[in-house]
Amino acid sequence: QVQLQESGPGLVKPSDTLSLTCAVSGYSISSSNWWGWIRQPPGKGLEWIGYIYYSGSTYYNPSLKSRVTMSVDTSKNQFSLKLSSVTAVDTAVYYCARKGLGAREHAFDIWGQGTMVTVSS
């Protein structure tokens, strides 16, 4: 059973860097899937942040590109998100997710439970 689990600080100060990790279990992160991050501000809709391949190739949302860095650690079977210079508008539930394969390659078919990150001093 494939499971994804986000972890990281629940509170980040304005102007600091938000750092989250997604641990993957029951599946190799080095398989042919891409791995993504999506966020959801309280009471609002979903926003795609970006995705990464096990080789380190990345694609980011242009609106966040200047502040986002994703990385992967195949030895730990996990991938990570860093978002710099955060402000209150970055307060959201952050989800990690797996992109599917084949006909599902542009769908997120497995999601983590999400982790709430609040930006506040």
Partner 1 sequence: DIQMTQSPSSLSASVGDRVTITCQASQDISNYLNWYQQKPGKAPKLLIYDASNLETGVPSRFSGSGSGTDFTFTISSLQPEDIATYYCQQYDNLPAYTFGQGTKLEIK
Nearer to partner 1, 62 or 121 (CB): 62
Which amino acid appears at position 84 of this protein? S
Beta bridge partners of 64: none
Nearer to partner 1, 8 or 100 (CB): 100
Give me the least distance between CB of 34 and partner 1, in Å please: 9
Residues lying near partner 1 in the complex (CB under 8 A)? 38, 45-48, 51, 59, 61-62, 95, 97, 100, 103-104, 106-109, 111-114
Q: Given CA atoms 53, 55, 61, 64 in this order, what sign does their dihedral have? A: positive
Give me the least distance between CB of 110 and partner 1, in Å please: 8
Calculate the CA 78 to chain-centre distance: 11
Helix extents (H) in the chain: none
